[in-house]
Copies of this chain bind each other. A is one copy, B any other.
Amino acid sequence: METTLVRSIYRDTEKFADKDVKVSGWIRTIRDSKSFGFIELNDGTFFKNIQIVFEDKLDNFKEISKLPISSSLEVEGKLTVTPNAKQPFEIKASKISIEGKSSSDYPLQKKRHSLEYLRTIAHLRPRSNTFSAVFRVRSLAAYAVHKFFQDRDFVYAQTPLITGSDCEGAGEMFKVTTFDLNNVPKKEDGSVDYSKDFFGKETNLTVSGQLSAETMALAFRNVYTFGPTFRAEDSNTSRHAAEFWMIEPEMAFADLNDYMDTAEELVKYIIKYVMDNAPEEMKFFNSFIDKGLFDRLNNVVNSSFGRITYTEAVDILLKSGAKFEYPVKWGIDLQTEHERYLTEKVYGKPIFVTDYPKDIKAFYMRANNDGKTVAAADLLVPGIGEIVGGSQREERYDILEKRIEELGLNKEDYWWYLELRKYGETKHSGFGLGFERIIMYITGMSNIRDVIPFPRTTGSAEF
């Protein structure tokens, strides 16, 4: 008999009702009395378990009854709809084969475990309700990103991770090398001889695919990256990981407003896609992780995002009379407390803050005519603050070159980036969305270590 997936039985119960089916999966709970027992079996394809009823007429009734949880089984039997019971249906087992008997010291016993403990068994935690829900949502959200852009004919640009240059001219990076660190080749003057390294020069892990994506946008018009990026920042917080995924769209013939339109659409699309395609998981998060989740997400999906300038934002904060840990004045980088105040207390919905002071933004952002600000915009959402950052890019050769020089960046590193401004420059814009940040937002999980299957953080690269 063909194996049926539990997802199919939940999604199309009628088709299987009163029919013999075969399922396979892992025991989540098992209880028995003398002559019969119940198993909650999870087959991995669906958030919910399926109930198996087994009786002592089975040859191996005793052996089954004593199985530790997480043992894997193959079960045949009739699917019976149970409209008056807690579960919608159950399988009356006619045959149960043991595929793999688990050990009784299985670390994921039924009792509630702390998230901290579960991180120490990252190879098993996807079998818990919480992480089963998180990682399925992560998968669906990733697909939503691709579907959003591909439906709009954006080209997916897989930009390199190993890089000889440093996008932001800042950001602490990981070195990539094949040197024997016990014996690093040196030049006569005692400095490292990178010409002997694998790539013949110093290389790092990228902090952003943006500059590469811009080269693609100036050919394909609309492109996006979606891949891993790295920060070697020594910050042990609940929001920083050394390895995380970023989505970085770039659009030619697009200005700051076009970027904001696209980002607003994208954020709403991802949330809606996940809510539509993982209703069981989302209900779980709303019940057990964050009771305000649905309200918050529905508010985002149904709002028209606000747009104010940085200068207006600073005025509002100054006039608010609110007490902040970091004092507000024109020129500061907005802190999370300021961002949240604006989006939560003042607007009660997501807002874009635009036209930041140039001194707190990256060199490639387009200078405004006022000489003080750049055409940048951050998207702030209730609950966390900044979730998207982006800008119109400086497309004017002279101004970009001057900015690179002003900031003391090495112009030779950017020869190809500058050439994009020499050969067919167009206005263009782009943004970055931290994938883990939106997963945290959608699930209500508050630590980035709990939305990445095997997180890499300061001092930790386990599994």
Contacts and interface: CB of A to CB of B under 8 A. Distances in A.
Interface of A: 3, 5, 7, 24-27, 43-45, 70-72, 74, 99-100, 102-103, 106-108, 122-124, 126-127, 131-132, 135-136, 138-140, 142-143, 146, 150, 153, 155-165, 172, 174-179, 181-182, 184, 190-192, 198-201, 203, 205, 212, 215-222, 227-228, 230, 232, 234, 242-243, 245, 252-253, 395, 416-417, 419-420, 422-427, 452-456, 458-463
Contacts of A27: 424
Contacts of A26: 424, 426
A415 to B, nearest CB: 9
21 contacts: A24-B426, A45-B153, A72-B425, A100-B395, A100-B425, A103-B422, A107-B423, A123-B416, A126-B216, A135-B219, A136-B155, A143-B156, A162-B174, A162-B242, A174-B176, A175-B177, A175-B178, A177-B177, A177-B181, A212-B453, A216-B453
Given A160-B452, A181-B184, 8 more contacts: A25-B221, A102-B424, A132-B220, A146-B146, A181-B192, A182-B191, A199-B459, A212-B463
Contacts of A228: 158, 161, 227-228
Given A43-B221, A232-B178, A158 B452 contact: yes
B126 A242 contact: no
Contact of A24 (B182, B190, B253, B455): B253
Given A123-B215, A201-B461, A157 B139 contact: yes
Contact of A153 (B5, B199, B227): B5
B423 A70 contact: yes
Contacts of A461: 160, 162-164, 199, 201, 203
Given A146-B143, A155-B135, A203-B461, A160 B424 contact: no
A198 B424 contact: no
A10 B427 CA distance: 25
Contact of A192 (B24, B131, B182, B462): B182
Given A45-B222, A132-B220, A215 B178 contact: no
Contacts of A138: 156, 158
Nearest to A144: B150
Given A161-B243, A416-B463, A422-B102, A198 B174 contact: yes
A437 to B, nearest CB: 14
Contacts of A427: 99
A170 B106 CA distance: 31
A269 to B, nearest CB: 15
A181 B181 contact: yes
Contact of A178 (B140, B153, B174): B174
A178 B230 CA distance: 12
A124 B419 contact: yes
A177 B178 contact: no
A103 B7 CA distance: 59
A434 B43 CA distance: 29
A71 B424 CA distance: 4
B423 A124 contact: yes
A126 B219 contact: yes
A100 B424 contact: yes
A34 to B, nearest CB: 27
Nearest to A100: B425
A174 B177 contact: yes
Cβ-closest 7 pairs across A and B: A44-B221, A126-B219, A100-B425, A70-B424, A199-B461, A123-B416, A139-B156
A132 B230 CA distance: 29
Nearest to A161: B228
Contact of A157 (B140, B175, B453): B453
